[in-house]
Structure formats: C-alpha cells, structure tokens
Amino acid sequence: MELITVVVQRKDGQRAIDAALKHGAPGVTSFFGRGTGVRQKLSVFGMFIEAEKQVILIAATKENADKILDGIVKEVELDKPGRGFAYVQTIGRVVGFYEGENGKEPA
C-alpha cells in the first residue's frame, strides 16, 4: 500500500480530488491548511501563492499509485512552479482498507 499526499492551493483542491478519483483512487480524505515560507520567497519573483491550502490523502495499492499521481500531476499541473506538490510514502500496515465493488481487501 502507498499513501499519496497532495498539497495544492485551495482553489485547485476539488480538481485534484476529481483527478484522483478519475484515475482510480478508491477514495480520498482532505482537509484545509495554511502554508508559510515558500509563498514569501516566490512573491519576490512576482508569483503570488495563496496561503490557503488543501491537503489530500489517498491510500492506494502499489499497482495504482503511479497512475493516480500522474493523473493528478497532469490535471492540476503540479509540474509547474507554485502549483503545489505531492509525494508518495509506503504504508507498512493497514487496517480497514477495502477497494472494489466486491469489498475485496488487498493482499
């Protein structure tokens, strides 16, 4: 299992969630936050980065994690400066994660 974490400007949060679901995420958890640091540095170069963020967490199988992340990167343009960032972590143990129509628990 993998945990995909995506941090985007609040205005892009729903687009990121929609992209995750479209590309195979079984579900998402999201919450709002506030960022500091990079915003001030980039404003010197004329880029305004909103302080309000949306953090999106997606638990996915190893087989689907890259597809889901690639879909989010494409839809929200995370590969462009100031659009947000994402990372993937391995989950060592999971309880209660089910996917698919038949409620199958991953191996």
Residue 75: burial class (beta carbons within 10 Å; 0-12, 13-18, 19+): middle
Q: What DSSP designation does 64 have?
A: H
Per the structure, the count of domains in the chain is 1
Alpha-carbon distance of 86 to 5, in angstroms, equals 5
Helices 62-76 and 13-22 cross at an angle (nearest 10°) of 140
- Residue 19 is assigned to a structural domain of this protein: yes
- Residue 99 is assigned to a structural domain of this protein: no
- Residue 78 is assigned to a structural domain of this protein: yes
Q: What is the pLDDT along the chain (107 residues), one digit of tens a residue?
A: 999 999 999 999 999 999 999 999 999 999 999 877 655 555 555 556 667 899 999 999 999 999 999 999 999 999 998 889 999 999 999 888 776 655 555 54
Residue 14 host element (H or E) = helix 13-22
- Residue 64 is assigned to a structural domain of this protein: yes
CB atoms within 10 A of CB 54: 21
Residue 58 is part of which domain span? 2-90
Any idea what the CATH number is for the domain that residue 25 is in? 3.30.70.120
Strand extents, DSSP E, 1-107:
2-9, 29-34, 52-60, 84-90
What's this model's pTM, rounded to 2 decimal places? 0.81
